[in-house]
Chain A
Amino acid sequence: MRLRPTPADLLAFAAAAAVVAALHLHAWGGGGPVVTARVETPAGTRLLPLDRPGTYRVQGALGESVLEVREGAVRFVDSPCRAKVCVRSGWARAAGDLVACLPNGVVVTLTGPGGEYDAINF
């Protein structure tokens, strides 16, 4: 029996190569920003894509909170609260991260794949 690949063999090899390539692309390929900031305010909810740097102003219960988006992360720059816990929380960049200004009623949650909690314990 000589080893001559048949057309069906070649087809199988092409299909296998395609499947493997697709799986690797899926596994390693980043493919753009996957994390989005969900900003909840008393007035409603809006989404901030983290690939667009900039400064955003949102209206809260006390006044205007200022959010900054840079390098795939988001933070509070200013907020009309007293303690400034939100500003001192710093940057949030991973899915599942959360920064909030509770007095102003502004909650920023980062959503994306892998952001689901396995468990939360207090």
Chain B
Amino acid sequence: MKAPATGQAAPPGITPLRPEREDLRVAALAALAVALHVLEAALPSPVPGMKPGLANVVTLLALVRFGWRTAAWVAALRVVVSGLVLGTFLSPTFLLSAGGAAAALGALGLAVRCPGRGFSPLGLGLVAAMAHMGGQLLVAWALFVPHPAVALLAAPLMTAAAAFGTLSGIIAWRILAQEEATEQA
């Protein structure tokens, strides 16, 4: 498909679609998140479901810099596109991923409404990771394995989520700090 040259009038009957700044931003961030997500899918994992979740760093950055709507778009696109790329679209893996992302977005939506000084990227990363894993476990329990043993798997998984969530928070904070320094320079 050839991109129409800018300034050229669209042929009659065709509505020109011009991506706005926000669209481009979402696309770029989502592409970054998809790349991280797909790379991570290649990593071996000691326990099913235990992943660093570095793609969530992108969601955090989108949230802090551009707000919840952008973050939600980025996360939703990441889940869908990664599903298509990895061939897991609409499979249980995809549903778990989507459930986790939805839970994380919900928690982040609440967290940014927190009064006072609110959450730093550190706290946001932790909240998002815990909610992500919690949502995932609930989906797993509700749809696939309605067995009390899911609670046993929750112990190591939630521990990992807390650790990796803090790690994502630190990474997001460092990137934000660097951006701020660049802008001031």
Q: Which residues of A contact B (CB under 8 A)?
A: 1-9, 12-13, 16-17, 19-20, 23-24, 26-28, 113
Contact = CB atoms under 8 A, between A and B. Distances in A.
A8 B151 CA distance: 27
Contacts of B114: 8
Given A23-B155, A27-B155, A6 B148 contact: no
B158 A8 contact: no
11 contacts: A1-B176, A4-B120, A5-B123, A8-B117, A9-B123, A12-B111, A16-B162, A17-B162, A23-B155, A24-B159, A26-B152
A23 B151 contact: yes
B79 interface: no
Nearest to B159: A20
B21 to A, nearest CB: 23
Given A12-B126, A16-B162, A6 B152 contact: no
Contact of B123 (A1, A6, A26, A28): A6
Contacts of B126: 9, 12-13, 16
Counting chain B CB atoms within 10 Å of each CB, the highest count among A1, A12, A20, A23 belongs to A12
B122 interface: yes
Contacts of B118: 6, 8
Given A16-B165, A19-B158, A23-B155, 8 more contacts: A1-B121, A5-B120, A6-B119, A8-B111, A12-B126, A20-B159, A23-B154, A113-B148
Q: From DSSP, what is the main secondary structure of chain B's interface residues?
A: helix
A26 B151 CA distance: 8
A9 B122 CA distance: 7
A27 B123 contact: no
Nearest to A12: B123
Interface residues of B, number: 27
A3 B117 CA distance: 13
B127 interface: yes
Nearest to B166: A13
A6 B117 contact: yes
Contacts of B116: 6-8
A17 B126 CA distance: 11
B113 to A, nearest CB: 11
Interface in B112-140: 114, 116-123, 126-127, 130
Which 6 A-B pairs rank lowest in CB-CB distance, beginning with the nearest? Answer: A9-B123, A27-B155, A23-B155, A6-B117, A1-B177, A12-B123
Nearest to A25: B155
B180 interface: yes
B122 A27 contact: no
A13 B125 CA distance: 11
A26 B155 contact: yes
Given A1-B176, A26-B151, A27-B151, A20 B119 contact: no
A27 B118 CA distance: 33
A16 B129 CA distance: 10
